[in-house]
Chains A and B, each alone.
Chain A
Amino acid sequence: MGSLTALGLVLLILMIIVGGKQGISSFLSMVVNFGILFFSIVLIAFHMPPIIVTVVASVILLSITIFWSSASDNASTTAFQASVLILILLIAIIIPIEYWARVGGFGLEDSEELEGLSLYVGINFTKLAICTAILSSLGAIAEASIAIASGLDEITTQHPKIPADQLFADGIFIGKQIIGTAVNTLFFGFFGSSMGLFIWFYGLNYSLGDILNDKIFAAELIAIVISLIGVVLTIPGTTLIMSYKLRRKQRQGQKTESDH
């Protein structure tokens, strides 16, 4: 048995111990997400338009991550709507930034690895960088929107008469706590995944200017900062949708009361 399979098995067992049925579905969501990711790469390799493939895949990936979590129906529907909204906003930021910064493709640091590979494959690497940035942010958006939607759903279940303005304030309050820790998740993930690169920079005496303009570093930094912006935007986004729904529900409630 390979190490990858063995680690997967250990994870599955631990998840079942902690979460039971929920553990199995969390594990499956990761496996299915991987399948969709790989399938999208294959589609792009067959010259399907990369950005469209990625956007469609992203909506599916978000729905799997959100609906297979243990959040209540109302919470997960709201979280999904909010995360798709944020996804659209992020794409609107990502596309101009990537075309401006041109971080697609490979840098001089990749030379050794690229030896013997043909680089002229007829796929636009700037578009691929856009896809990479979109995909990196999905997990962060999904997690933030689930956390806020679940918190607010709990509040509306316990106080169905809560004014929508009050709910909005509560959402921002919950959101503040989430951002503080989500920032850590993202930045440590970034430190971990680019540690080799940092050691490389130090070893070869890159100056701060060299690092800031380095293609590979810039690409990774853009992806992480975009995810961070996504998390921050998710807070008002999810809260707005939740309080809009509450207002509509309360209005309907009043209507049925006055009908009787």
Chain B
Amino acid sequence: MKAKLTSKMTWVQIIGVLLFCLVAVFLTAHDDSLYTKPIFQVTRVQNGKVTKMSDEFHNTDYYHQQTLYGHITNGKHAGEALTIQNSFSNSGAMDHEYKPNQKLFIILHTKPKLHATVKDLKRDVPIVLLLALAVSLLMIVLKVHGVTVIGSIAINTLLFWGAVKLDHANNGAAVIPIFSILAVIFCFITLFLVMGWNKKMLVTLSAVLSATAITVLLTLLVFGVTHERGMYYESMQYVTQLPKPLFLAEVLIGVLGAVMDEATDIVASLATLKQERPELSKMQIFTSGRQIGKSIMGPLINVLFFIFMAETLPMTLLYLKNGNTWHYSFSMNMSLGMTSSLISGIGIVLTVILSSLFAGLWIKGDER
């Protein structure tokens, strides 16, 4: 009977998810009027001539011409038919082959007569679909608690955007202070939402903040001793301000989630342990904390390692294919990601020590 009920629930859930995703896709697919940039709907494509080309590093590629037929879907010229020329390569690093039914952002020129060039693909539909899928999966597995998790992401995103605003208003002169304060607020809100307002939360908060602070100081110390040899700040991407403080701020924020994740785990387990066996001494609590921590730290460091390293793959490959040495390609693309991973690792290991220490000192058996 119970099994029947749950399987019925699952069907309701699957239909619910499908409906939610379909509605999200439908709405996003028809949001053209919300954009001020002109959007072009491709209805027919004619592929033209193909040229083989090769560069000085013996890379061969094929370059295609295509003509796109379609109409504009928004703005002043909505409904008007248009023909656009496009060219693309097989590798498609900066160009794309367009197909019927795709929507594109275009740049319109009205003189001498209406014509246009392609700017980029409209790709909000797949993004929204993926977000809808993630939100519905979270809600199914977490039920009511899902609202807290999604709410926490939303609040943090807004705060992050606010900090970016503030940083820009100061022309990047105060990037470290701004993002340090942001880090403290992030931790406070996130831990409050996960654990509530109690002593356990305060212990976790102090462990997280002190571990992060020590990590940054230790990093600066290492940079000082080694004179930052081998730090290629000039290889940082999308930099509009002084790169070194920005790099530190990036690592600071990047490691915060992992450190909170770990500290919450350790402090919660130690509090339960102390409750069940109040006779355990401070030293014994510290040792059990270390035991828990040493099994979590490896996998956790790898989570950030893969996030930081995977995104360097396309650029590293491009460097290698442009006749650069392996060493140079590594230095210019992967070494900063590797540095971030190592600094994060230091933060994660320090958290094991500090959260076990603080839990041992401050958590008593009679409270949860």
Contacts and interface: CB of A to CB of B under 8 A. Distances in A.
Interface of A: 1-8, 10-11, 14-15, 17-20, 22-23, 25-26, 29-30, 33-34, 37-38, 41-42, 44-45, 61, 65-66, 68-71, 93, 97, 100-106, 109-110, 113-114, 117-126, 128-129, 131-133, 135-140, 142-143, 146-147, 150, 172, 175-176, 179-193, 195-200, 202-203, 207, 209, 212-213, 215-216, 218-229, 232-233, 235-236
Interface stretch (B12-20, B109-117, B134-142): B134-142
A4 B331 CA distance: 11
A135 B306 CA distance: 6
The bracket for how many chain B residues form the interface is: 35 or more
| Prevailing SS type, chain A contact patch | helix
Interface string B287-300: 00010011111111
A42 B326 CA distance: 9
Contacts of B168: 199, 202-203
Contact of B94 (A20, A25, A65, A105): A105
Contacts of B250: 192-193, 195-196
B59 A122 contact: yes
Interface of B: 34-37, 53, 55-57, 59-61, 63, 89-94, 96, 105, 120-131, 133-134, 137-138, 141-142, 145, 148-149, 152-153, 156-157, 160-161, 164-165, 167-168, 172, 179, 186, 190, 194, 218-219, 222-223, 225-226, 228-231, 236-241, 246, 249-258, 260-261, 264-265, 290, 293-311, 313-322, 326, 330, 334-335, 338-343, 345-346, 349-350, 352-353
A188 B141 contact: no
Contacts of B319: 117
Given A6-B225, A45-B320, A102-B121, A222 B240 contact: no
A209 B124 contact: yes
A233 B137 contact: yes
A195 B96 contact: no
B91 A136 contact: no
B149 A179 contact: yes
B353 A18 contact: yes
Contact of A11 (B167, B237, B346): B346
Contact of B261 (A133, A181, A191): A181
Contact of B298 (A25, A213, A236): A25
Given A101-B123, A119-B318, A189-B304, 4 more contacts: A4-B342, A11-B342, A105-B94, A122-B59
Contact of B219 (A7, A42, A138, A198): A7
Given A33-B302, A209-B35, A188 B254 contact: yes
Contacts of A222: 126-127, 130
A199 B164 contact: yes
Contact of A200 (B138, B240, B317): B240
A125 to B, nearest CB: 5
6 contacts: A44-B317, A102-B121, A125-B314, A176-B145, A183-B153, A195-B249
A192 B254 contact: yes
B55 A120 contact: yes
A188 B257 contact: yes
Contacts of B305: 30, 33-34, 139
B295 A184 contact: no
Given A185-B257, A195-B250, A18 B352 contact: yes
A97 B130 contact: yes
A126 to B, nearest CB: 6
Contacts of A125: 91-93, 314
Contacts of B230: 2-5
Nearest to B125: A100
A173 B127 CA distance: 30
Nearest to B298: A26
Contact of B339 (A4, A135, A181, A216): A4
Contact of A193 (B226, B258, B307): B307
B294 A19 contact: yes
A235 B141 contact: yes
B313 A131 contact: yes
A9 to B, nearest CB: 9
A198 B256 CA distance: 18
Contacts of A29: 298, 302
A85 to B, nearest CB: 16
B211 to A, nearest CB: 11
Nearest to B225: A6
B330 A38 contact: yes
A114 B319 CA distance: 10
Nearest to A219: B311
A61 to B, nearest CB: 8
A124 B141 CA distance: 37
A243 to B, nearest CB: 14
Contacts of B148: 180
Nearest to B96: A102
Contacts of B341: 30
B105 A1 contact: no
Contacts of A1: 226, 229
Given A14-B349, A195-B250, A124 B92 contact: yes
B303 A226 contact: no
Contacts of A197: 237-238
Contacts of A118: 55-57, 59, 321-322
A228 B339 CA distance: 24
Given A118-B57, A221-B127, A18 B254 contact: no
- Pick from B226, B293, B307, B314 the residue with the most CB of A within 10 Å: B307
